Amino acid sequence: MASWANGRGRSHSYSDEFDLCKPGCLGFIDVVALVACLLICLAEAKKGSFPASSHVVINGSFYRDPSYSLWSTVYVNASGNVTTSGPFTYPNASTPFVASVSDFYDVVGDGASLEVVARAEYAAFHEAGVYISSTNEVYFTSNKLNTTNATEYRFPSYGQFSKISLTPSANGTYEWSTLLPPSDQLVMPNGGTVYNGQVLMAAQGYGLDVASSLVLVDPATGKGRTLVNNFYGRVFNSINDVAVLFANRAVDEQWVFFTGMSVLAGFKPYPSLPAQVYAFHPPTGTIRVVADGFERPNGVQFSEDYKTCYISDTGFISAVAGDPHPKHGRYAYDVVAPPEGADPKLVPPTLTNRRVFAFADSGMPDGIKVDTAGNVYAGCFDGVHHCWERYCLVWTS
């Protein structure tokens, strides 16, 4: 699960699907923010909501695995028997989402529909979700796959890079194309975003053979070039996701922010840098650390006005049994301009006033997207969590 745009990637035991919202169901159409389509264009709405007893005193013994939703809470009744019958009953809704506040339906609207445009028998649609308007295509990366039947890859594990055309063919289908690696450095690609009309990918790299890097892919040629692959000679741990600050300005005024996770999936060596967030200015090559204090920084996004930065921490994924401390929240920062007189091409804006924006009560938050209305979306264990200000609304598959 993770970054989302123009549809959703959903992990299944046997298949992976990409769902496309039908046109006309959004009150605002912004290709950068079409992740809102993820929740807005769902099945026809019979409204589902949390029951009134969502927050109550529970009598007797009870327990919930933090990897699962609140309605998986297990209770011990008066007879001493274990039961799942309690105040947190599964919502009765005909849609794949439930809302904790009614304002969510102002986002969803009426008459929304869901359309599957691609399906795979493996986790093909895992990360990125980068929409390129010039070609009307969305670029995706898979989860980690093995190379048993994929001889074009150099290592035992690989990440598949693919795209889906959102222009339907004559028979109404959508073309899904698996792409060969656009460069030798795009190994284990993960998150991505749009940068100067091209696809900017976070490549995790592999072992000591290929360093983690940012690779810019030209959608017109399919070729890629590496923008950065080290921090003053030190190897990045595993670049996970990337976002562009001031994407509405000239390229030389834009800063690329990216997250450097600790190693996790077994294809990288012991980390040589802390788990932190970086700001990078491609035209000058300037790079700075702008945030730390994470276990595993993952998703990163900016608000529409670029005044707030959201970063998710997926420390929960590596927690040992019984450990109550791993982080699994989304944090908000104020984006502060460089001091007066500083060169904005050499000194990046700083991230200050860190605070908890949303706690992922089920598992952990992975990728983040933000729409033009200020709604923040995160892929979590039980689906997509949608929040704004202090309110959170949960979509579950």
| Local confidence band at 84 (pLDDT 50, 70, 90 cut-offs) | confident
pLDDT at 37: 35
Alpha carbons 370 and 38: distance in angstroms, whole number = 12
**For the chain, what percent of residues have pLDDT higher than 70?**
67
Q: What is the pLDDT of residue 46?
A: 41
For 66-81, what is each residue's pLDDT tens digit? Answer: 777 777 788 887 788 8
- Tell me the per-residue pLDDT of 290-344, one tens digit each, with 9 for 90 and over: 999 888 788 999 999 999 999 988 865 554 445 555 556 779 999 999 999 999 8
Interatomic CA distance for residues 295 and 101, integer angstroms: 31
**Residue 96 — very low, low, confident or very high, per pLDDT cuts 50/70/90?**
low
Give which of 232, 311, 312 is closest to 272, Cα–Cα.
Answer: 232
Q: Is 46 left (phi over 0), alpha (psi -120 to 50) or beta?
A: beta
Taken in order 62, 66, 70, 72, is the CA torsion positive or negative?
A: negative
Looking at every residue in the chain, the average pLDDT score rounds to: 76
* Helices assigned H by DSSP within 94-247: 104-108
Confidence class of residue 224 from pLDDT cuts 50, 70 and 90? very high
pLDDT-derived band at 141, boundaries 50, 70, 90: very high
| Both structure tokens of 74 | 């297990």
360 close to 366: Cβ distance less than 8 angstroms: no
